[in-house]
Structure formats: C-alpha cells, structure tokens
Amino acid sequence: MNPRENECKACDGTGLLMDDEQWRYSCSVCGGDGIFNKGDSPEPDKPFDTDENKRTLE
C-alpha cells in the first residue's frame, strides 16, 4: 500500500490550506488531519462562518 494513498489531495497531507493573502487555516476537506480515506465526504459537517472577504472564521 502506498503511504500517500490516503493523503488529502487538497492540502497535500499537511492539514493546512493557504489563501491568496497567505493566511493559513485548517483544511476543510480532511478536517485538518491530512488524511482523506475512501468513503469520506469532502463536504464539511456544518456550514462555515465567513467574514466579508469570504475568509473562514474559526
């Protein structure tokens, strides 16, 4: 089994994403753990809170 097989493709397994202003935030696809298993849903459990610039709020 390839060790990168379950790695989240959205964040490259880091668990973090970065926007165009270089703000870092938890990956919304894998939930921040860097692992995306077959059968997992890429949709968040609940809607995001965002600011007026569409940045996610935690």
pLDDT 10s digit of each residue in the chain, 58 long? 566 788 999 999 999 999 888 988 888 888 889 998 888 887 777 777 888 877 777 6
Does some domain include residue 46?
no
Does some domain include residue 1?
yes
Does some domain include residue 48?
no
pLDDT at 25: 85
pLDDT at 23: 86
pLDDT at 39: 82
Tell me which residue has tokens 């968040």: 44
Does some domain include residue 15?
yes
Does some domain include residue 58?
no
Q: What is the Cα–Cα distance from 44 to 19, expressed in whole angstroms?
A: 18
pLDDT at 11: 92
Does some domain include residue 8?
yes
Q: What is the Cα–Cα distance from 28 to 24, expressed in whole angstroms?
A: 12
Parent domain of 11:
1-37
Does some domain include residue 42?
no
pLDDT at 40: 82
Burial zone of 36 (CB within 10 Å; 0-12 exposed, 13-18 middle, 19+ buried) = buried
Residue 18: half-sphere exposure toward Cβ, Cα within 13 Å? 5
- Count how many domains the chain has: 1
